[in-house]
A and B are shown apart, each in its own frame.
Chain A
Amino acid sequence: MFYRDAGQYKSSYAADRAVFPLREDRIGLAVILLVAFVAIPLFAGDFVIKTVMMPFLVFSLAAIGLNILTGYTGLISLGTAGFMGVGAYACYKLTTYFPGVNIIVWILASGFFSAAVGVLFGLPSLRIKGFYLAVATLAAQFFLQWCFIRIPWLYNYNTSGAIEVPTRTLFGVPITGATAAIEVRYLILLSAVVLMTWLASNLVHGRFGRMWMAVRDMDIAAELMGIRLLHTKLLAFAVSSFYAGVAGALLVFIWLGGAEAGDVFAIRQSFLILFMIIIGGLGSLVGSFMGAAFISALPTILKFGLPAMGIPIAGATAEHLNFMVIGALIIFFLIVEPHGLARLWQIAKQKLRIWPFPY
């Protein structure tokens, strides 16, 4: 009843193939974008933007990247955080060498560097599959992490050993560095995420997406149908790492504004991003967002939201409780719907469509 597709006719192939064929979906999307672009910068405080929204967006982007590789192409990777790091360091080096070029250009360009590294570490995927490949990508994770610490050239020989984000401006407004207003940084981040999501959506709905999915479903069959495995798998690695790289650059430059990389690009992060896409839904862009919200924002909301609502737990106890609740919720959601939150959302939409009738 809420989701009535009756009366919405498609009169062209293009309309039929649209990503959002339903009017309700399009309106809903517009509302979400409106809230994200207007309401949140206006009404949400620094705290919410900095600790809930920005990490959510950064990790959504990384999750989309991994979803392209794992969800669409069926190759599990545990090196996402390493590839994010490559993006962050590439961006840092680029903006130090060419401070005149706008930082946004470099943030997007840094993705190409991590794409190159991703292709390199993606080569074994031709011979290795499944969990074996997952563990093989750990080599990338640990090796890259080691490089970030061990090669001082990467962090410009800073005594702090970390990326120190310089102030860079766009149209005279600072967008990185300490003086940049949080709302401005948020809007930049949001725009980047929206743009790249749109791009990803076009990719996965197009020829490449179909190739990837064919490989995922059965790579030998795909090969027999004339899909070149080498190209397809490496392309998936490249695109996925590109997204991870951009997410990493955004993480350091826009969100944290300087951080010790050994920490933010650690193995734990790789696992978390993998879990985001599993709980969100493999092979679903919406799922990437939902998963990122679940894994990244939920702990924060639990930690600070509960005391704010008057439930008096604090300090270490709250942290322990948090861990237990999140663990239990993960298991609960998997049991309720193993195909992820995205699938739950689909079922809900289906229910809404026919409500109040059972079928």
Chain B
Amino acid sequence: MTLKKTALGLALAGAIGGFAAPAAAQDQIYINHNSYRTGPFSGSGIPIGDGVKDYFALLNARDGGIGGVKIAYEECETGYDTRKSVECYEQAKSKGTVIYAPWSTGAALAAIPRAHIDKIPILSMAYGLSASASGQTFPWVFNPPVTYWDGASVFLRYIAGREGGFDKLKGKTIGLVHLDAPFGKEPIPVLEAFAKEHGFNLKLYPIAASEMQNQSSTWLGIRRDRPDWIYMMGWGAMNPTGIREAARSGFPMDKFVSVWWPGEDDVRPVGAQAKGFKVLTWHQVGQTFPAMQEIQKLVIDKGLSQTPRDKVGEHIYGKGIYEAVMISEAIRNAQKVTGKKVVNGEDVRRGLETLDITAERWKELGLEGFTSPLKLSCADHNGANPLFILEWDGTKFVKTSDPMPPVRDKVQPLIDEAAKSYATSNAGWPSRTETCDKAS
């Protein structure tokens, strides 16, 4: 009996020991990307996943990968669950991914301490830990092109412009409707700092994740307080409901600005009533870009993707494209910097630090006018790109403002301080030893 059990135990141990799959084949670059096509946040997760996937499919179909090396792209479903994200991280690591895109603040937080040990760069595009903009403290974490703090500062810059200067903000009331989670509370320190300086009132309207689709009391509170402007930090099902409730409660849509996550699908049901609703973002929408048309022609029409043809180029889909461009350009850079064809995580980290996507480069990529140039450095892992306003005209988003740069002289001290406090509270945080490459 005991023999049998021992044998069984050993066999079991062997079996489970063996099932972490070996690294990918040597002639390709492996990317494992978190996604959530299920669960309460799938409304945001699906278009992003589609965008990233289609862009890599395009690179493989059109150019045969990057620098002649095929990209093996794989999605790992997380359902926006930290637990599953951890599983995905471990899988991505064991399969030798060259980059990790957590797509949830919780997952990013769980992975950040491991990045420098596992040698996998983390790319959290405009989310995650704002402090990770500091390359000095977080050599392995990247959050281009802006942080939530930058976003809040651009929002204030925009409304100051509309009101006629920062000094006109005095006495105004600004409301922040936010998901009651670390993500949603992110801009509060920036808004508070500005409120103190310019003398406006900040009102907070938290919405718990379980109440995302039940916001009526929040909007009643907004009716009571009559804020002059509203800034929304929403995600998943919170966005469409928030926009709907705003329209229901008669809040002037023109004064309703959101951080960069709502997509067309979130606004469309409200239709004409949402006219004037604004989204702060850093890239254009539309299918006119050559790259988008190539995706339609070479990927979707060929049956390589399930993305509906008309969704290509929509707002959140574009975010997926933007992220995929960053990753692929970082890989290209890494190939240049190291001279290797098949790069690994360490190389891609160097590629990201030397990332420099100029306006000409965007044009070459078939995305002229899509966004502003992005340049990262060893110290700056963010770029602090300018943002502009996309306004809903009743049927689609249109760009209605010039790009506005973040108020970095206000945000930078916050980033530095937060990075420092992260390093101290995570006692034993290593100081940077990674060397810095010259941009190529």
A contact set with B: CB distance below 8 Å: 2-3, 24, 27-28, 31-32, 34-35, 39-40, 43-48, 50-52, 55, 96, 99, 142, 146, 149-150, 156, 158-162, 164-168, 174, 177-179, 256-260, 262-264, 266-267, 300, 303-305, 307-309, 314-316, 318-320
Contacts and interface: CB of A to CB of B under 8 A. Distances in A.
Interface in B160-185: 180-182, 185
A292 to B, nearest CB: 13
A273 to B, nearest CB: 13
15 contacts: A28-B5, A39-B10, A46-B93, A47-B94, A96-B425, A159-B129, A168-B427, A178-B113, A178-B428, A260-B181, A300-B87, A305-B19, A315-B35, A316-B38, A319-B79
B82 A314 contact: no
Interface range for B: 35 or more
Given A47-B94, A318-B77, A159 B9 contact: no
Contact of B86 (A51, A149, A164): A51
A168 B425 CA distance: 12
A27 B110 CA distance: 39
Given A46-B90, A161-B185, A315-B37, A263 B82 contact: yes
B367 to A, nearest CB: 26
B2 A27 contact: yes
Interface string B399-440: 000000000000000000010011001111000000000000
Nearest to A4: B1
Across the A-B interface, give the 4 residue pairs with the lowest CB-CB distance, nearest first: A161-B182, A167-B428, A178-B113, A260-B106
A213 B208 CA distance: 39
Majority SS of interface residues in chain A? helix
Contacts of B35: 315-316
Nearest to A257: B113
Contacts of B5: 27-28, 31
Contacts of B110: 256-259
Contacts, number: 179
Interface of B: 1-2, 5-6, 9-10, 12-14, 16-17, 19-21, 35, 37-38, 74-77, 79, 81-83, 86-87, 90-91, 93-94, 105-106, 109-110, 112-114, 116-117, 129-131, 180-182, 185-186, 189, 206, 208-210, 418, 421-422, 425-428
Contact of B75 (A32, A44, A304, A314): A314
A204 B206 CA distance: 44
A45 B95 CA distance: 12
A184 to B, nearest CB: 14
Given A161-B182, A178-B117, A314-B74, A48 B19 contact: yes
Nearest to B13: A39
B17 A44 contact: yes
A47 B38 contact: no
Contact of B38 (A159, A308, A319): A319
Contact of B9 (A39, A47, A178): A39
B77 A162 contact: no
